[in-house]
């Protein structure tokens, strides 16, 4: 079934395809990952809109939509590349290696072809020593050395907090350490 490029069916098809791509894009953004296939679909629709647009205002709308899709596709490609670089760096690869920078050795240039180092990062263990303290004065919420939020506390409250935080608060005469 061949649809004429300027027929109402073709226009409905392009509109439906545009709407579907936007729904997929929103869902992908919500998940935090843009699949390469979605970028390819955006490019296909961009080309369909730009090839042989109808005359008049409708053609201008098609071209504007194609431009918007092109800009969107370019930005998504850049964001995907940046995300890929960030993940690689976060897992221990050197930034020069990821960006494909060249190093000079003597008089000739050689491209770095090492594989990124694979470091295994173990989860942070909850081995931070905590102590029981009594608060002498009111204390607002604070983030402990274990990255957990403590408080707010009133005078007379008792709590387990990280030892390092307890030492600082004890030195300021805010808490009394009950049990170490």
Write the CB contacts of 5 (distance below 8 Å, at least 6 apart in sequence): 52, 54
- Asked whether the beta carbons of 68 and 61 are under 8 A apart, the reply is no
Q: Which pTM was predicted?
A: 0.45
How long a stretch of residues is the chain?
180
- Asked whether the beta carbons of 63 and 86 are under 8 A apart, the reply is no
Annotated domain spans of the chain: 8-90, 130-179
Residues pairing with 159 in the sheet = 133
Q: Can you name the CATH fold of 130-179? A: Ribosomal Protein L9; domain 1 (3.40.5)
pLDDT, tens only, 131-164: 999 999 999 999 888 888 998 999 999 999 999 9
pLDDT, tens only, 44-85: 888 888 887 878 888 888 888 888 888 888 888 888 777 776
């Amino acid at each position: 079934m061949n649809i004429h490029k300027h027929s109402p069916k073709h226009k409905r098809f392009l509109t439906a395809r545009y709407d579907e791509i936007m729904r997929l894009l929103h869902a992908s953004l919500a998940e935090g990952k843009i699949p390469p296939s979605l970028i390819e679909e955006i490019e296909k629709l961009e080309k369909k809109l730009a090839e042989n647009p109808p005359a008049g205002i409708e053609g201008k709308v098609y071209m504007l939509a194609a431009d918007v899709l092109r800009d969107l596709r370019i930005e998504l490609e850049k964001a995907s590349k940046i995300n890929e670089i960030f993940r690689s760096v976060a897992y221990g690869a050197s930034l020069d290696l990821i960006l494909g920078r060249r190093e000079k050795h003597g008089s000739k240039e050689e491209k770095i072809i090492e594989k990124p180092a694979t470091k295994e990062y173990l989860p942070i263990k909850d081995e931070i020593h905590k102590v029981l303290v009594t608060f002498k004065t009111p204390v607002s919420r604070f983030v402990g050395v274990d990255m957990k939020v403590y408080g707010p506390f009133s005078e007379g409250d008792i709590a387990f907090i990280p030892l390092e935080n307890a030492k600082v608060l004890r030195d300021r005469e805010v808490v009394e350490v009950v049990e170490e």
